[in-house]
């Protein structure tokens, strides 16, 4: 790929060398709520969701800033800054994003903040650069909206670990068949009165039978992955603990081997639909050990930060083949003199602001 970059640079030496100076000429101000910009933002959010390994899908909330650059020799690069909100659909949940509901303020909302560089060429969108992070609303703000609402707590909190274990045991006990094992704690909240813990977590089917498990560590995930998403609560009552759990088991996913034969997606094919559907699960489970999940958030976090969303593989993938459009080309530099920005951005808020 390096040699290709070099060649293309030679072919347009002027463009490569002095892009920051001359792009001012092709820089355009666009409105954040321009329909085409919205389309680009939706491609970006889709790309984000396709590359998430942990936690929940995100949905577009607001386009904060946008810049548009003509790229030599062809195409247009959009430089976007967008705000997203967490939905209630886990990233492994096949439910289309449009059918996922936004996590409300009373449910302790989580906001994402992303920078994207998206190339549009021949009607195709290619994400060239992406960087995100996310933050939950503050506990104080949640309590302002609703004093009795449950607040996010760390995944490694003793009550969380205990609730997840009790819920998983209860689920497996109801289930005369396959033994399901914990893959990820996705969300945990509590309220003080009555002492209650609410958790959301991901499980996966193993080769063990629920009633015969002696050592869960010896149970391996099936080659054809089958994940489930569970919501559970544990309430401390006078008479003891009250556990309730409900799980939604998703359809089996094809074995990674058969998926990979498709090879890398051709350049320019990374539009909304191009999205390697099985990529997150394939990389989620490296071998039979569930704990071999790629570097996730530290155990004491209260949510899965989007900062960890893009694996190194994913970013190499997105950068390859489109190297001409390397982010350097779209550095805004000091060309802001192009016109007034204020009235065009930020765009409308689709849901609510945190």
Ligand X SMILES: *[C@@H]1O[C@H](CO)[C@@H](O)[C@H](O)[C@H]1NC(C)=O
Binding site for ligand X (CB under 6 A): 95-96, 99, 154, 156-158, 176, 298-300
The C-alpha atoms of residue 291 and residue 92 are separated, in whole angstroms, by: 17
The C-alpha atoms of residue 313 and residue 318 are separated, in whole angstroms, by: 9
Helical pair 2-11 and 13-22, crossing angle rounded to 10 deg: 80
The C-alpha atoms of residue 121 and residue 134 are separated, in whole angstroms, by: 30
Nearer to ligand X, 3 or 158 (CB): 158
Tokens 């969300």 label which residue? 187
Nearer to ligand X, 148 or 176 (CB): 176
For residue 295, which phi and psi values (nearest 5 degrees)?
-45, 105
Count of Cβ atoms closer than 10 Å to residue 184 Cβ: 24
Nearer to ligand X, 156 or 258 (CB): 156
The C-alpha atoms of residue 192 and residue 188 are separated, in whole angstroms, by: 14
Question: Which pair of tokens denotes residue 161?
Answer: 């670990």
Nearest distance from C-beta of residue 156 to ligand X, angstroms: 4
Q: Is 115 helix (H, G, I), strand (E, B) or coil?
A: strand
Nearest distance from C-beta of residue 299 to ligand X, angstroms: 5
Nearest distance from C-beta of residue 172 to ligand X, angstroms: 12
Nearest distance from C-beta of residue 159 to ligand X, angstroms: 9
Nearer to ligand X, 99 or 148 (CB): 99
Cis, bond preceding 194 (omega within 30 deg of 0): yes
Nearer to ligand X, 99 or 261 (CB): 99
CB-based contact 202:183 (threshold 8 Å): yes
The C-alpha atoms of residue 269 and residue 8 are separated, in whole angstroms, by: 20
The C-alpha atoms of residue 285 and residue 183 are separated, in whole angstroms, by: 9
Nearest distance from C-beta of residue 315 to ligand X, angstroms: 27
Nearer to ligand X, 257 or 291 (CB): 291
- Which residues, other chains included, contact 216 with Cβ-Cβ below 8 Å and sequence gap of 6+? 179, 181, 206, 208
Nearest distance from C-beta of residue 74 to ligand X, angstroms: 37
CB-based contact 233:163 (threshold 8 Å): yes
Nearer to ligand X, 96 or 123 (CB): 96
Q: Which residue is nearest to ligand X (CB)?
A: 300
Nearer to ligand X, 96 or 263 (CB): 96
Element (H, E) at 75: none
Nearest distance from C-beta of residue 185 to ligand X, angstroms: 12
Element (H, E) at 129: strand 124-136
Question: Which pair of tokens denotes residue 147?
Answer: 């004093």
Nearest distance from C-beta of residue 211 to ligand X, angstroms: 9
Nearer to ligand X, 39 or 175 (CB): 175
Nearest distance from C-beta of residue 55 to ligand X, angstroms: 18
């Amino acid at each position: 790929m390096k040699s290709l970059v070099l060649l293309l640079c030679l072919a347009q030496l002027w463009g490569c060398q002095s892009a920051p100076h001359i792009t001012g000429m092709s820089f355009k101000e666009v409105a954040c709520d321009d329909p085409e910009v919205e389309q680009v933002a939706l491609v970006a959010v889709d790309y984000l969701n396709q590359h998430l390994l942990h936690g929940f899908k995100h949905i577009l909330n607001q386009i904060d800033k946008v810049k548009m650059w003509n790229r030599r020799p062809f195409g247009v690069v959009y430089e976007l800054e967008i705000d997203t909100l967490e939905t209630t659909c886990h990233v492994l949940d096949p439910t289309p994003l449009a059918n996922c509901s936004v996590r409300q303020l009373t449910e302790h909302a989580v906001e994402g903040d992303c920078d994207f560089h998206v190339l549009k060429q021949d009607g195709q969108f290619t994400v060239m650069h992406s960087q995100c992070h996310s933050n939950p609303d503050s506990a104080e703000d949640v309590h302002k909206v609703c004093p009795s609402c449950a607040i996010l707590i760390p995944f490694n909190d003793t009550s969380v670990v205990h609730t997840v274990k009790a819920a998983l045991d209860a689920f497996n006990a109801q289930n005369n068949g396959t033994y399901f094992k914990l893959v990820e704690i996705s969300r945990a909240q509590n309220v003080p009165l009555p002492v209650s813990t609410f958790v959301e977590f991901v499980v996966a089917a193993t080769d063990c039978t629920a009633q015969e498990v002696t050592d869960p560590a010896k149970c391996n995930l099936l080659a054809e992955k089958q994940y489930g998403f569970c919501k559970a609560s544990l309430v401390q009552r006078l008479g003891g603990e009250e556990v309730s759990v409900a799980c939604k088991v998703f359809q089996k996913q094809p074995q990674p081997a058969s998926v990979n034969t498709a090879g890398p997606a051709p350049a320019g094919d990374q539009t909304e639909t191009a999205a390697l559907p099985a990529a997150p699960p394939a990389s989620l489970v490296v071998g039979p050990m569930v704990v071999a999940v790629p570097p996730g958030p530290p155990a004491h976090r209260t949510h899965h930060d989007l900062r960890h969303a893009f694996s190194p593989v994913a970013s190499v993938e997105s950068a390859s083949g489109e190297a001409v459009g390397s982010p350097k080309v779209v550095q805004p530099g000091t060309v802001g003199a192009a016109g007034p920005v204020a009235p065009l951005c930020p765009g409308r808020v689709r849901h609510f602001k945190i």
